[in-house]
Chain A
């Protein structure tokens, strides 16, 4: 397999791992994950879906 295909496969593998981790952690989530800055999240917690 060429290096280019390996890079794409690695990227997709990371994406699968990340979404799997997200599903595992947020399956019963009530809040949002605050990733940036110490500003408080809005009280609605999530935008309307």
Chain B
């Protein structure tokens, strides 16, 4: 089994994920933010499945590794769908929803094809599906980073005022940025063991931020629009 700190972070994160779904149901927002809730619900189930596999076969077993990467790919695909649903909300009033869906499908299929091509280039790499799951998950994760920043820019450009939507997008952006920064730090300064724990701890922050957003603001909450900049003549 993993160390006590890692286990604590794991349990805490799972509790926050479950808390988000409960808060969402309590605030009658489950279907309003369906994909967010589906993602969190599936993450809880995946956490439970991973814990059971870890307990049954051991932390360093092939079974845990296979389970980890397959479920991670599944969650990353769902995270992608979640991001597309947020795009649909932000651009909902503009009339290119159909083209946005086309772009989302092309992007997902393109990422899958690219991941396959990367693996197929190397000999004897196709004997295990977890390699493809790993590659797809990593590529989709980086696509998610780019999409989140685009969404962030769109929220700023369109002067989005729906508080919940803005908070959810901002927290996703912070989450992805912190994850990428931790990852870079892991590679630059691997001697600091605490950095590895930080990656897990960041996983707890996203459901916590979403919990606070759902509980603190209603669907009707609006941000005050930014003041106009006075241009000297």
Contacts and interface: CB of A to CB of B under 8 A. Distances in A.
Interface residues of B, number: 67
B10 A38 contact: yes
Contacts of A29: 183, 187
B99 A18 contact: no
Contacts of A32: 134, 138
B46 A37 contact: yes
Given A18-B139, A33-B179, A43 B10 contact: no
B51 to A, nearest CB: 8
A37 B47 contact: yes
Contacts of A41: 68
B190 A30 contact: yes
Contact of A40 (B110, B133, B200): B200
Contacts of A47: 65-66, 69, 128, 130-131, 133-134
Given A12-B106, A33-B138, A47-B131, A39 B47 contact: yes
B65 A37 contact: no
Contacts of A31: 183, 186-187, 196
A35 B203 CA distance: 8
How large, as a class, is the contact surface on chain A?
35 or more
B201 interface: yes
Interface string A16-37: 0111011001101111111111
B60 A34 contact: no
Contacts of B130: 47
The 9 closest A-B CB pairs, nearest first, are A38-B13, A38-B203, A36-B75, A7-B103, A11-B106, A11-B107, A7-B99, A42-B65, A18-B143
Given A38-B47, A40-B2, 12 more contacts: A4-B102, A11-B102, A14-B107, A14-B147, A15-B114, A33-B180, A34-B179, A39-B51, A39-B68, A46-B134, A49-B119, A49-B122
24 contacts: A6-B99, A7-B100, A12-B110, A14-B107, A14-B150, A15-B110, A28-B187, A31-B196, A32-B138, A34-B203, A36-B75, A37-B46, A37-B203, A38-B201, A39-B10, A39-B68, A40-B10, A47-B69, A47-B130, A47-B133, A47-B134, A49-B122, A49-B125, A49-B131
